[in-house]
């Protein structure tokens, strides 16, 4: 098979040994999180399906929070910073400006994760005053120990610094190449980070101004709707923060391993710009059932969400076209016959292609979620976890694992321990997820709730066209078990790869696009323009809803003194010290 032949080219490790170490460290952290997250996952699947229970139901939220946070914060984002570091260094073809800075942000991310995880695991020990049973959607009124919010803040700062690191590299490169187009991989990483910075405004205010001081006891009430809205301001774009590195891999690596070339570089740029513009002004689609937000704002969020389907539909076209090009290069013919000519024995290819297929289904359930009226049917049911196990759990998670099979040898100069196990692993993931998410979607349609240890209603059952509640539970549990086995196979395969012999010349260059960057209008690379428009759209979408939430519910909740307790003594001191001066009067004015 052509993909098995060595090109004789140097690997990423040969060319950038220092950066390869950082990428390996980030990916390893990501896989540790994946492994631990999977363990919590299977405990909770078997618990809520009532097939096998190791812990009391009172620990369910602790398990669910650990599973959620480890998977969607640690696994995904550590992978993101690793893969984007690789992508930026590789595509700009230059080392990072200051590797100590790089290790600093990586260190902060590790520290933040540890703090948050310690706070969560504290939930298993009721005798100590430490817990964070707040789920990965950690908005009020659920409250965590300050350590949890502190950890998240440190982690977030680490991710922002990672972006700064890549921008520094880009600016240095730009000075030497003033007239060149931004290489596609770097372009994608930078746009992702711009989106991330905008999205972070919401969560930073939520955590720093409200959740953290509230959990520290500075004030005892909170405007729950306000923190929820600020959370979703960030909580929707974060799903694209997970998706965009997967898309980067579909655009820039998948075509090569399909044996062909990317169909269109300009379309890839358009897609990422659309994500930057539209990812944030849609967060209210998670709040269709929140009574405090006027219907009109929900309709605006829905309309924006429907526009946001466009970049993914464009991606479906471009990526499948690139795969078809690859298959035809490999001798494939016919309307669909070319599908057989794809390199199905290559686990990196098969994993990414299956991830894409599942995303088609996940995107479909997303469209249903996004409909204001249909959302009422599925909100807070098991349908929603069904949706996100297809999107983040497969489109993103499986792509990351599959890409690792391709990338890991180039970070280590060693071959993968076993390709057949890798192939079995990605197929097992696909089958496991098909069972689990199908059961979740259908059970959700019948009203089975999400986020509960005891979903069974006494004396309530339903018969669906295919299956009963018991059968769905069984399907869910079998799916979850296959996913756990698949995760163990993945982690073991990568760990055992450390023991394979060192090799030389196993670098894998990426093919050039059929339609390259020079076909893309120059305006696409105008980052300032796009960030400007994105900010305007965010202001348009959020100013009025936030203003009305604050007007009705107060900044710190209805009827609460707007001056937090911690500020009060300070103002009183200023009032006394400054007496009748303007400053003294001002302090007195704020106090009363």
Active site residues: 236, 240, 387-389, 450-451
Using the minimum distance from each CB to ligand HAS, give the nearer residue, 315 or 438: 315
CB of 379 to ligand HAS, least distance (A): 4
Using the minimum distance from each CB to ligand HAS, give the nearer residue, 137 or 418: 137
Going by C-alpha positions, the residue among 58, 59, 57 that lies closest to residue 48 is 57
Q: Which of residues 230-259 bind Cu ion (CB under 5 A)?
A: 236
Partner that binds at residue 316, options Cu ion, ligand HAS, none, CB closer than 5 to 8 Å by kind? ligand HAS
Among 49, 256, 391, 404, binds ligand HAS (CB under 6 A): 391
CB of 329 to ligand HAS, least distance (A): 15
Distance (Å, whole) CA 370 – CA 374: 8
**Beta carbons of 343 and 257 less than 8 angstroms apart:** yes
403: its two tokens: 């890409």
**Secondary structure of the chain: what % helix, strand, coil (to 5)?**
70, 0, 25
Among 114, 321, 357, 571, binds ligand HAS (CB under 6 A): 357
CB of 391 to ligand HAS, least distance (A): 3
Partner that binds at residue 353, options ligand HAS, Cu ion, none, CB closer than 5 to 8 Å by kind? ligand HAS
Q: Which of residues 244-263 bind ligand HAS (CB under 6 A)?
A: 250
Distance (Å, whole) CA 209 – CA 226: 11
Partner that binds at residue 249, options Cu ion, ligand HAS, none, CB closer than 5 to 8 Å by kind? none
Using the minimum distance from each CB to Cu ion, give the nearer residue, 59 or 272: 272
Q: Which of residues 69-88 bind Cu ion (CB under 5 A)?
A: none
Distance (Å, whole) CA 290 – CA 341: 50
Partner that binds at residue 153, options ligand HAS, Cu ion, none, CB closer than 5 to 8 Å by kind? none
User: CB under 8 Å to 486, separation ≥6 — which residues?
Assistant: 425, 426, 428, 429, 432
The CA radius of gyration of the chain, in Å to the nearest whole number, is 25
Among 9, 128, 367, 566, binds ligand HAS (CB under 6 A): 367
Site string for ligand HAS, 127-146 (x = CB under 6 A): ----------x---------
Among 142, 316, 488, 510, binds ligand HAS (CB under 6 A): 316
Using the minimum distance from each CB to ligand HAS, give the nearer residue, 237 or 517: 237
Using the minimum distance from each CB to ligand HAS, give the nearer residue, 273 or 370: 370
Using the minimum distance from each CB to ligand HAS, give the nearer residue, 173 or 406: 406
Going by C-alpha positions, the residue among 164, 147, 150, 151 that lies closest to residue 105 is 164
Long-range contacts of 504-507 (CB under 8 A, 24+ apart): 504/14, 504/413, 505/6, 505/7, 505/8, 505/9, 505/10, 506/6, 506/7, 506/11, 506/409, 506/410, 506/413, 506/415, 507/7, 507/8, 507/9, 507/10, 507/11, 507/12, 507/14, 507/410
Which ranges of 292-346 does DSSP label H, i.e. alpha helix?
Answer: 295-307, 309-329
Site string for ligand HAS, 179-198 (x = CB under 6 A): --------------------
Among 83, 396, 403, 411, binds ligand HAS (CB under 6 A): 396
Q: Choose one: 202-210, 369-377, 455-463, 551-559; the region binding ligand HAS (CB under 6 A).
A: 369-377
Among 356, 386, 479, 517, binds ligand HAS (CB under 6 A): 356
Site string for ligand HAS, 526-565 (x = CB under 6 A): ----------------------------------------
CB of 243 to ligand HAS, least distance (A): 4
Q: Is residue 65 classed exposed, middle or buried when 0-12, 13-18 and 19+ CB atoms within 10 A define those classes?
A: buried
Q: Choose one: 176-184, 211-219, 391-399, 503-511; the region binding ligand HAS (CB under 6 A).
A: 391-399
Distance (Å, whole) CA 308 – CA 314: 11
- Residue 97's SS3 state is coil
Opening angle at CA 76, ends 70 and 81, nearest 5? 125
Distance (Å, whole) CA 518 – CA 183: 11
* 3-class SS letters over 190-229: HHHHHHHHHHHHHHHHHHHHHHHHHHCCCCCCCCHHHHHH
Verify binding: residue 285, ligand HAS, rule CB under 6 A.
yes
Q: Choose one: 138-146, 181-189, 316-324, 564-572; the region binding ligand HAS (CB under 6 A).
A: 316-324
Distance (Å, whole) CA 92 – CA 12: 13
Using the minimum distance from each CB to Cu ion, give the nearer residue, 236 or 325: 236
Cα separations in angstroms, 86 against 309, 527, 585 = 28, 21, 56
The residue whose two tokens read 């292609």 is 353
244: its two tokens: 């965009």
The residue whose two tokens read 């079995």 is 424
Site string for ligand HAS, 322-341 (x = CB under 6 A): -x------------------
The residue whose two tokens read 């306000």 is 226
Q: Which of residues 78-137 bind ligand HAS (CB under 6 A)?
A: 137
Verify binding: residue 242, ligand HAS, rule CB under 6 A.
yes
Verify binding: residue 440, ligand HAS, rule CB under 6 A.
no
Partner that binds at residue 67, options Cu ion, ligand HAS, none, CB closer than 5 to 8 Å by kind? none
Distance (Å, whole) CA 174 – CA 353: 35
Q: Point out which residues bind ligand HAS (CB under 6 A).
A: 137, 239, 242-243, 250, 285-286, 305, 308-309, 312-313, 315-316, 319-320, 323, 353, 356-357, 359-360, 363, 366-367, 369-370, 375, 379, 384, 387-388, 391-392, 396
Q: Point out which residues bind Cu ion (CB under 5 A).
A: 236
């Amino acid at each position: 098979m052509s993909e098995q032949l060595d090109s004789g080219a140097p690997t990423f490790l040969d060319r950038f040994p220092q950066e390869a170490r950082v990428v390996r460290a980030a990916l390893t952290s990501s896989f540790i999180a994946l492994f631990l997250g999977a363990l919590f996952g299977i405990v909770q699947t078997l618990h809520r399906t009532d097939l096998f229970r190791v812990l009391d139901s009172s620990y369910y939220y602790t398990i669910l929070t650990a599973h959620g946070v480890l998977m969607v914060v640690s696994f995904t984002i550590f992978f993101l910073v690793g893969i984007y570091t690789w992508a930026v260094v590789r595509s700009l073809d230059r080392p990072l400006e200051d590797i100590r800075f790089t290790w600093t942000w990586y260190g902060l991310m590790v520290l933040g994760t540890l703090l948050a995880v310690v706070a969560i695991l504290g939930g298993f020990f009721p005798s100590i005053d430490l817990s964070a049973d707040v789920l990965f959607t950690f908005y009020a009124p659920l409250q965590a120990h300050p350590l949890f919010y502190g950890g998240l803040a440190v982690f977030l700062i680490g991710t922002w610094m990672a972006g700064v690191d890549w921008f520094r590299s880009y600016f240095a490169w730009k000075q030497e190449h003033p007239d060149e187009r931004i290489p596609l991989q770097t372009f994608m990483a930078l746009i992702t980070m711009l989106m991330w910075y905008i999205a972070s405004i919401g969560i930073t205010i939520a955590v720093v101004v409200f959740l953290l001081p509230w959990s520290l006891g500075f004030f005892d009430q909170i405007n729950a709707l306000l923190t929820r809205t600020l959370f979703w301001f960030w909580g929707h774009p974060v799903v694209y923060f997970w998706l965009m590195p997967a898309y980067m891999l579909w655009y820039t690596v998948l075509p090569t391993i399909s044996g062909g070339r990317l169909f269109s570089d300009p379309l890839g740029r358009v897609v990422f710009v659309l994500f930057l513009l539209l990812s944030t002004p849609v967060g209210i689609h998670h709040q269709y059932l929140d009574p405090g937000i006027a219907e009109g704002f929900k309709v605006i969020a829905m309309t924006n969400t429907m526009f946001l389907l466009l970049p993914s539909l464009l991606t479906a076209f471009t990526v499948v076209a690139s795969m078809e090009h690859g298959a035809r290069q490999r001798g494939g013919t016919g309307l669909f016959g070319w599908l057989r000519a794809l390199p199905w024995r290559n686990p990196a290819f098969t994993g990414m292609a299956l991830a894409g297929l599942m995303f088609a289904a996940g995107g479909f359930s997303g469209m249903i979620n996004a409909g204001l009226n249909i959302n009422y049917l599925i909100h807070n049911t098991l349908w929603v976890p069904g949706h996100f196990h297809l999107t983040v759990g497969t489109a993103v998670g499986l792509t990351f694992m599959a890409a690792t099979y391709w990338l890991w040898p180039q970070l280590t100069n060693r071959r993968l321990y076993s390709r057949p196990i890798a192939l079995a692993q990605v197929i097992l993931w696909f089958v496991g997820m098909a069972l689990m998410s199908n059961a979740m979607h259908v059970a959700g349609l019948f009203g089975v709730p999400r986020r509960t240890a005891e979903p069974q209603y006494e004396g309530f059952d339903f018969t669906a066209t295919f299956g009963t509640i018991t059968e769905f539970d069984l399907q869910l549990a079998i799916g979850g078990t296959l996913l756990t086995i698949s995760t163990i196979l993945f982690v073991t395969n990568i760990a055992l790869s450390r023991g394979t012999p060192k090799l030389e010349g196993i670098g894998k260059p990426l093919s050039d696009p059929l339609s390259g960057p020079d076909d893309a209008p120059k305006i696409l690379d105008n980052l300032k323009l796009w960030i400007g428009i994105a900010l305007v759209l965010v202001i348009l979408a959020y100013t009025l809803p936030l203003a009305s939430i604050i007007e009705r519910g107060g900044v710190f909740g209805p009827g609460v003194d707007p001056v937090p307790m911690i500020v009060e003594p300070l103002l009183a001191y200023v009032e006394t010290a400054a007496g009748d001066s303007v400053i003294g009067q001002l302090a007195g004015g704020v106090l009363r």
